[in-house]
Amino acid sequence: MKTVNWFCIPAVLLVLLRSSFSLPADKEKVEEGRYGILKHDGLVAGSEHSWTLWRLPDGQFELEDHFPIDKAAHSWLKSMLAPRVPITAELRRSMQDFVEPSDLSAILDSSGKVLSLSVTGVKLDEKRAVGLKCKASSSAIECTGTSDKAKLPLGEPRPLFWRYDIPMLLRPWLAAPQEGSSGSGPQEIALLSFGVLPKVDKLEVEKKAEPGARSQWGDKPALETADLAVSNLGVDTLALGSKHFTTRKYKMEIKPANGAPVSLTVWTDARGLIMAVEDANQPGDLIALLAYKNYSNTPAATPH
């Protein structure tokens, strides 16, 4: 009678378990980099943020963007909650709900347009929280912020357009219109914007937040229809500090149904990687690419 080698059974069982409960395929890193704001050729302190683009198993993409907490603004807002500060109950509630953004995550379709988006960060009590969540479908776009919700029903599909400080989310809109032309005509989009924190009576703030400043992300989100026109302005030499790049220059004009128009100038490399963005409302301030790595063996722009 043959004896059984019991020491082999755990190994065989482990192989069977592995084959029965296989894990889903991992996402694949495509690119990563770092952007920051250049003003008069100098880097603005605290403006840098790093990003990573992943390819998901289903063909969609995930964009992660991480930025530092503005410690000075965070500390100032936290001090406003002290009992001795004369603020209204409404403002106190708003500030208690406030989330200072530190991370943005977006799921993109195969063309790079936003399907869903979330912004997380830190509240004034130092607890982490979600400041904004948006979801787009063919029939509606919905966004939930810290103090309000917004919903835009759609009679026909309109992609969600994010214009603030995240150049990678502008990339899919630059589908190479002919040089000197207005492109293929205006594109219909859904434009996301934000409100502002309530004013504080009898208190002066030395530095006012610019419209769409990161500290406002999630505060009173609003959605409206808009038209986007992209013009290809041709080849241009872009100076970033001491380096010069041969780029393609574009103009993006956004005309909302009710709000103020938006004008952005964008420089890209030959593959469409965004090298810099300038908002017409903040001339001279460039959101510029400071570092870049590509994992698909396709070269980026080469400085000369």
Domains held by the chain: number: 1
191 falls within a domain: yes
Judge whether residue 75 has pLDDT over 90.
no
Q: What is the per-residue pLDDT for 146?
A: 83
Residue type, 15: V
Average pLDDT over residues 133-150: 92
The alpha-carbon radius of gyration of the chain (Å, integer) is: 23
Comparing CA positions, the residue from 165, 217, 161 lying closest to residue 192 is 161
11 falls within a domain: no
Q: What is the per-residue pLDDT for 29?
A: 95
Judge whether residue 216 has pLDDT over 80.
no
User: Is residue 19 very low, low, confident or very high in pLDDT (cuts 50, 70, 90)?
Assistant: very low
13 falls within a domain: no
16 falls within a domain: no
300 falls within a domain: no
- In whole angstroms, what is the distance from residue 190 CA to residue 173 CA? 13
Map 252-281 to HEC letters: EEEEECCCCCEEEEEEECCCCCEEEEEECC
18 falls within a domain: no
Q: What is the per-residue pLDDT for 206?
A: 37
72 falls within a domain: yes
User: Is residue 169 very low, low, confident or very high in pLDDT (cuts 50, 70, 90)?
Assistant: very high
Report pTM.
0.80
52 falls within a domain: yes
Average pLDDT over residues 256-281: 93
> What is the span of the domain harbouring residue 211?
26-294
